[in-house]
Chains A and B, each alone.
Chain A
Amino acid sequence: MDKSYRAVMSRKNEIMKSSVGIDYSEFERDGIVFDYEELMTKTAPDISEVAEIQKEAGVGCTPLVELKNISRLVRSHAKKGHGAHIFVKDEAASLSGSFKDRRASLSMYVAKDRGFDGVIAATSGNYGAAVASQAARRGLKCIVLQETFDSRGMGQPEILEKGRACESYGAEVIQLSVGPELFYYLLRLLEETGFFNASLYTPYGIAGVETLGTEIVNQCREQLGRDPDHVVVTHAGGGNLTGTSRGLKKAGADKCKIIAASVELTGLHMASDTDFNKKSFTTGHTGFGVPFAVAPDRSDVPRNAARPLRYMDKYVLVTQGEVFFATEILARLEGMQRGPAGNTSLAAAIALARELPEDEVMVVQETEYTGAGKAPSAQLTFAKNQGIEVMRGDPRKLDSPGERIVIPQDFSQFSYKEIPMNRLRTSYLKRLLTEGKESFTDQEMQFLSEELHTDSWTIKRIIEEESRNG
């Protein structure tokens, strides 16, 4: 069989169908419409069954910890009557050290149930370790593909650590150089091995996170007698935000605001060999967060079950230096050594909580394990060795991704940059217009208002503006 780039990519649909076990065409409707809810309900188990599967897999039920000292410091820097109470869902307590166990546990259950001999995941993140860990529990062979090295053979320390973790669970780790061809090699391996595609973006990968949302609501009700007012999510590929939000809604926390937070890495090209090791964050950043929000279906499955724009109420960006600082504060004031990438939402929460009334509850919905390669000292040492300046100062004024990391001079310098929701909606719609879409049926408008989490009047206004400009 022809294994060239072009040939393998042209067999994408068949490879996906047999390796994921879902016929996505079943959920396609007229025009741009597909039935997202039907895709979710017909392919993935319902949430009570998911909780049972996860219980058996040793996943979930992590503690919700009040960050009393951080909240107190926030209040001392807020105007009178302000400074929301911050809580964190300690997902680092999960088996392989992150919330990704929730996603992997369901995928591995399905893979085993359908009789696959092994699984493959293409991920440089904590998901690799989660898949390897859950595969180990179910006796499945496991291959993890990671984008690890630049062309000099220099490995990103955080990804080297994630590779080590996968190997410790008995997985075969394929460490690749920089490039989007990771997807090509995934397809090639799926075809060669006949293994299950443990994609992050299948309905299993998303339904597995829903329990995180329901647990937050139940724990808030038990511990505080109320629902959370705000949940802050570190946003990259969109699965974390989508799954958590769906869970919050399923538990009835309808008024809870969902805030996405990413690390600002604007200016660094995600597929650039030279930019690769200038990043001190390998996930949770704008390089994934923005494209996955505005073009979710450009993923490794025909229809992405992670659709963050459907649920997002606000999108804020923080800097690398602020997240390292938040990581240091979490260890120093709360005795929790975690992250750092998962602490992106914590850095945002510190800035956001200051503006909110003091009786409100803000939940940072994950932490992740830390260690060699991941710890701030590891990443900052590596950054310095790559010629990046590390300094103290005001990140809002001095931050420059790839050139300078700025750790705040004082606590009041935690802040955020907001990406207006309508700018994201415009990007989503612009793509459809550039692809030649000229008019939308009533069903398509209905679909778009669900996709973009807004009314059809706003959508029409954006389309009109874009048509005039373009």
Chain B
Amino acid sequence: MKAVKGQWVQILAEVLSPSNRAENIPEDTKKVPYVMRVKGYLEDSEASIGDAVTIKTVIGRRLDGELIQIEPSYTHDFGSHVPELSDAGQMISALYRSLKEEGHSDG
């Protein structure tokens, strides 16, 4: 699939190579480059995933990087059913109902 000029895309660009990173950072972090991902409108007439491209961001800045997504979507969600959490919730609801039944004063 190709992206065309003006299409909403996401790029990846290196900010610092591993050797140019800050000192005093953990070894695992120092091994990898410092990178950024930014979304914007494609400036090139057309491009494929992996191409070096230019984008214009929502506030009009031009940035260069590797095209990694065309029309990126939000994929974060509410997660799956978590039994440990819902069991805890059920326990609390039951506990509160039992207080009511026992008729504890409202203090």
Residues of A in contact with B (beta carbons under 8 Å apart): 4-5, 68-69, 71-73, 75-76, 83, 118, 141-143, 148-149, 151, 155, 157, 160-161, 164, 167, 170-181, 184-185, 193, 269, 271-274, 324-325, 328-329, 331-333, 358, 372-373, 375-382, 384, 390-392, 407-408, 410-411
Q: B32 CB to closest chain A CB, in angstroms? A: 4
Per the bound structure, the CA–CA distance linking A161 and B80 in Å amounts to 17
B38 touches A381 (CB 8 A): no
Q: Which residues of A contact B95 (CB under 8 A)?
A: 73, 410-411
If A271-B29, A328-B89, A333-B96 touch, whether A177 touches B59 (CB-CB below 8 Å) is no
Contact of B22 among A5, A142, A272, A384 (CB under 8 A): A5
Q: Do B79 and A179 touch (CB < 8 A)? A: no
Contacts of A161 in B (CB 8 A): 76
User: In the complex, which residues of chain B have a beta carbon less than 8 angstroms from the beta carbon of A149?
Assistant: 35, 37
Residues of A within 8 A of B16 (CB): 5, 181, 184
Report Cα–Cα, A71/B96, bound state, in Å: 11
Pair B78/A273 contact, Cβ less than 8 Å: no
Contact between chains at B76 and A179 (CB < 8 Å) = no
Q: Is the CB of B96 within 8 A of A69?
A: yes
| 6 tightest A-B CB contacts, nearest first | A381-B79, A373-B76, A151-B32, A378-B79, A377-B79, A160-B76
* A118 surroundings in chain B (CB, below 8 A): 59
Residue B45 is within 8 A (CB to CB) of chain A in the complex: no
- A390 near B107 with CB under 8 A, answer no
B107 (CB) vs chain A CBs: closest residue: A75
Q: Provide the residues of chain A in CB contact with B2, threshold 8 Å.
A: none
User: A173 to B80, alpha carbons, bound, how many Å?
Assistant: 28
Q: Is B84 interfacial (CB-CB < 8 Å)?
A: yes
Does residue B57 face the partner (Cβ distance < 8 Å to A)? Answer: yes
A185 to B15 Cα, complex, angstroms: 8
**CA–CA, A332 and B78, complex, Å:** 17
**B binding-site residues for A, Cβ under 8 Å:** 15-16, 20-22, 25-26, 28-29, 31-40, 57-61, 74-82, 84-85, 87-89, 91-93, 95-96, 99, 104, 106-107
Q: Are B38 and A175 in contact (CB-based, < 8 A)?
A: yes
Report whether A179 and B34 are in contact in the complex, using a CB–CB cutoff of 8 Å: yes
Question: B85 is contacted by which of A69, A170, A271, A377 (Cβ under 8 Å)?
Answer: A377
Asked if residues B76 and A155 are in contact (CB atoms below 8 Å), the reply is yes
Whether B76 contacts A177 by the Cβ 8 Å rule is: no
User: Do residues B26 and A177 form an inter-chain contact, with CB atoms below 8 A?
Assistant: no
CB <8 Å contact, B82 and A377: yes
Shortest distance from the beta carbon of A255 to any chain B beta carbon, whole Å = 23
Docked Cα-Cα span, A464 to B40, in Å, equals 58
Within 8 Å CB of A273, what residues of B? Answer: 26, 28-29, 31-32
Is the pair A179, B36 in contact by a Cβ cutoff of 8 Å? no
Tell me the complex Cα distance, A328–B29, Å.
35
Partner of B84, one of A151, A160, A390: A390
Please determine whether B84 and A332 come into contact, CB atoms closer than 8 angstroms: no
Which residue in chain A gives the minimum CB-CB distance to B80? A381
Q: Which residues of B contact A148 (CB under 8 A)?
A: 37
A69 to B106, CA, bound (A): 9
Shortest CB distance B28–A (Å): 5
* Shortest CB distance A297–B (Å): 17
A155 proximity list for chain B (CB < 8 A)? 76
Contacts A181-B15, A272-B26, A378-B78 given; indicate if A72 touches B39 (C-beta within 8 A). Answer: no
* Given A5-B21, A358-B107, residue A328 in contact with residue B92 (CB < 8 A): yes
Cα distance A174–B38 in the bound complex, in angstroms: 5
CB <8 Å contact, A380 and B82: yes
A179-B29, A273-B32 as given contacts; A172 in contact with B22, CB under 8 Å: no
Could you tell me if B35 and A176 are in contact, using CB atoms closer than 8 angstroms? yes
Q: Cβ of A333 and Cβ of B37 under 8 Å apart?
A: no
Instruction: Give the distance to chain B from A434, nearest Cβ to Cβ, in Å.
Output: 15
Are B99 and A76 touching (Cβ within 8 A)?
yes
A174, A269, A333, A382: which contacts B79 (Cβ < 8 A)? Answer: A382
Contacts of A377 in B (CB 8 A): 78-82, 85
Which chain A positions have C-beta within 8 A of B15? Answer: 176, 181, 185
A373's partner among B77, B81, B89, B104 (CB-CB below 8 A) is B77
Tell me whether B78 and A392 are in contact (CB under 8 A): no
- Asked if A72 and B79 make an inter-chain contact with CB atoms under 8 angstroms apart, the answer reads no
**Chain B contacts of A382 at CB under 8 A?**
79
On whether the beta carbons of B38 and A173 are closer than 8 Å, the reply is yes
Q: How far is the CA of A148 from the CA of B75 in the complex (A)?
A: 14
Contact A170:B29 (CB < 8 A) given known A179-B22, A377-B82, A381-B80 = no
- The CA-CA distance from A269 to B24 in the complex, in Å, is 12
CB contacts (< 8 Å) of A274 on chain B: these are 28
A143 touches B59 (CB 8 A): yes
